[in-house]
Amino acid sequence: MSSHFTVIRKDPDTNARLGRLVTAHGAVETPCFMPVGTQGTVKAMLPRDLREMGCQILLGNTYHLYLRPGHELIRQLGGLHRFMGWDGPILTDSGGFQVFSLGATRKITEEGVRFQSHLDGATHLLTPDKAIAIQEALDSDIAMVLDECIPHDAPRDYVHASTARTIRWAERSFRARSAPGQLMFGIIQGGLFRDLRRWCVDAMTRMAFDGFAVGGLGVGEGEEKLHAIGNFTVELLPETHPRYLMGVGRPQDIVSAVRAGYDMFDCVIPTRNARNGTLFTFQGRLNIKRAEFGGDPRPLDEACGCYCCRNFSRGYLRHLYMAGEILSSQLNSLHNLYFYHRLMDKCREAIRDPRSETWTELGKIGDSV
């Protein structure tokens, strides 16, 4: 049993649950969404605005912060919370996914991952022990073990070998921990093979992790396989621990995963799409670049209470985007993240009151207006 996580209520008709995760920088009500602060900032957002919209926890990126400005500098400046001006909980990833994304510029061995920096081409070695040391220097509330995120179409032999290595790396990561106040999550890999997922769960749950993440999904395998493997895996995980579905962020996928029993989510979709002019509403996505919005006096969403929707028209937002104004990224990002936090509010509301129509409402989220 995790002493840091409590299941408060279970939905009687689904596997969704309402929970409370306690960290060194405060408690988090789950299910929750974690905005991604890759470089020590959620792009185009002030910490104050994140707090005001109800954001509980942020995600920091170990790979990027290690390369620039460096984890030791961040330690000298008081840790990641003080460095970025955020006093709430922070989860840091291990850097595994970013290294996976480097492709031919990285080499994986039993020791770790040798890769070339995307900044200056310098060679680095990221080991399970070093990944934990970096995260302890950052002083995040939740650290992730180093894992290998593999392509969705990798052959079974490679997936088997990779999963075995991920398990061994998790054991090394677990032994390397030395910060008593920092929680640590294990990561479940295994590709699209159910027996390998089960094997990885069995191995990870024998270690005293504070929570478990499911990785290797949302990497091009398609919606059907994402839900099939994601739902299969979450049912194997202990109910006593938080369950984190890594990197999956379409609104409809989050709702489906909450109903399956996941508690935590992160993704760059809300901020990346915002910078590209794609905005979310409960009626679907809206592409502000479309010419038809140029003279539209309506807000993005009349039912939305965010600063953007309370003060600006679709016509103005289109103008900002087409003019390349910095304010476009700020307002669009604020709106999208506000939407994502209202989405999680509605998920928690549906669990609290299963007699409400909230699940039905969430099931109608469309793709476009």
Query: 129: domain CATH number?
Result: 3.20.20.105
Q: Is pLDDT at 368 greater than 60 in this prediction?
A: no
Q: Is pLDDT at 355 greater than 90 in this prediction?
A: no
Mean pLDDT of the chain: 97
* Residues 347 and 224 grouped into a single domain: no
* Residues 211 and 347 grouped into a single domain: no
**pLDDT value at residue 74:** 99
Backbone angles phi, psi at 16, to 5 degrees: -65, 150
Exposed, middle or buried: residue 291 (CB in 10 Å: 0-12, 13-18, 19+)? exposed
**pLDDT value at residue 3:** 86
* Residues 119 and 247 grouped into a single domain: yes
Q: Could you tell me the pLDDT band of residue 68, with boundaries at 50, 70 and 90?
A: very high
Percent of the chain with pLDDT over 70: 99
* Residues 343 and 250 grouped into a single domain: no
Number of domains in the chain: 2
**pLDDT value at residue 284:** 93
The answer to whether 218 and 257 are in contact (CB under 8 A) is: no
Q: Return the structure tokens found at 40.
A: 């020590």
* Residues 284 and 186 grouped into a single domain: no
Q: Is residue 174 part of a domain?
A: yes
Percent of the chain with pLDDT over 90: 94
* Residues 144 and 163 grouped into a single domain: yes
* Residues 145 and 53 grouped into a single domain: yes
Q: Is residue 187 part of a domain?
A: yes
| 222-248 per-position pLDDT tens digit | 999 999 999 999 999 999 999 999 999
| 40-65 per-position pLDDT tens digit | 999 999 999 999 999 999 999 999 99
Give the range among 206-210, 281-285, 306-310 with minimum mean pLDDT: 281-285
Residue 7: how many CA atoms within 13 Å on its side-chain side? 19
For the CA atoms of 136, 139, 145, 150, the dihedral, rounded to the nearest 10 degrees, stands at -120
* Residues 93 and 191 grouped into a single domain: yes
Q: Is residue 209 part of a domain?
A: yes
Q: Could you tell me the pLDDT band of residue 100, with boundaries at 50, 70 and 90?
A: confident
Indicate the residue among 267, 285, 316 that finishes a domain.
267
Which positions are catalytic?
A: 93, 266
Per-residue 3-state assignment (H helix, E strand, C coil) for the chain: CCCCEEEEEECCCCCCEEEEEEECCEEEEECEEEEEECCCCCCCCCHHHHHHCCCCCEEEEHHHHHHCCCHHHHHHCCCHHHHHCCCCCEEEECCHHHHHHCHHHEEECCCCEEEECCCCCCEEEECHHHHHHHHHHHCCCEEECCCCCCCCCCCHHHHHHHHHHHHHHHHHHHHHCCCCCCEEEEEECCCCCHHHHHHHHHHHCCCCCCEEEECCCCCCCCHHHHHHHHHHHHCCCCCCCCEEECCCCCHHHHHHHHHHCCCEEEECHHHHHHHCCEEEECCEEEECCCHHHCCCCCCCCCCCCCHHHHHCCHHHHHHHHHHCCHHHHHHHHHHHHHHHHHHHHHHHHHHHCCCCCHHHHHCCCCCCC
Q: Return the structure tokens found at 234.
A: 């979450």
| 335-351 per-position pLDDT tens digit | 999 999 999 999 999 99
* Residues 143 and 246 grouped into a single domain: yes
Q: Could you tell me the pLDDT band of residue 103, with boundaries at 50, 70 and 90?
A: confident
**pLDDT value at residue 327:** 99
* Residues 183 and 283 grouped into a single domain: no
Exposed, middle or buried: residue 318 (CB in 10 Å: 0-12, 13-18, 19+)? buried
Q: Is residue 222 part of a domain?
A: yes
Distance CA 357, CA 232 (A): 27
| 268-285 per-position pLDDT tens digit | 999 999 999 999 999 999
**pLDDT value at residue 66:** 98
Indicate the residue among 229, 249, 267 that finishes a domain.
267
Q: Is residue 368 part of a domain?
A: no
Q: Is residue 369 part of a domain?
A: no
Q: Could you tell me the pLDDT band of residue 366, with boundaries at 50, 70 and 90?
A: low
**pLDDT value at residue 219:** 93
CB count, 10 Å around CB of 254? 24
Mean per-residue pLDDT, 241-263: 98
* Residues 138 and 219 grouped into a single domain: yes
Mean per-residue pLDDT, 23-43: 98
Q: Is residue 254 part of a domain?
A: yes
**pLDDT value at residue 254:** 98
Indicate the residue among 217, 247, 267 that finishes a domain.
267
Mean per-residue pLDDT, 175-197: 98
pTM of structure: 0.97
Q: Is residue 343 part of a domain?
A: yes
User: Residue for token digits 């936090």?
Assistant: 341
Q: Could you tell me the pLDDT band of residue 367, with boundaries at 50, 70 and 90?
A: low
Q: Is pLDDT at 145 greater than 60 in this prediction?
A: yes
Mean per-residue pLDDT, 121-150: 97
* Residues 289 and 202 grouped into a single domain: no
Q: Could you tell me the pLDDT band of residue 323, with boundaries at 50, 70 and 90?
A: very high
**pLDDT value at residue 70:** 98
* Range of the structural domain that residue 345 is part of: 274-362
Q: Is pLDDT at 369 greater than 80 in this prediction?
A: no
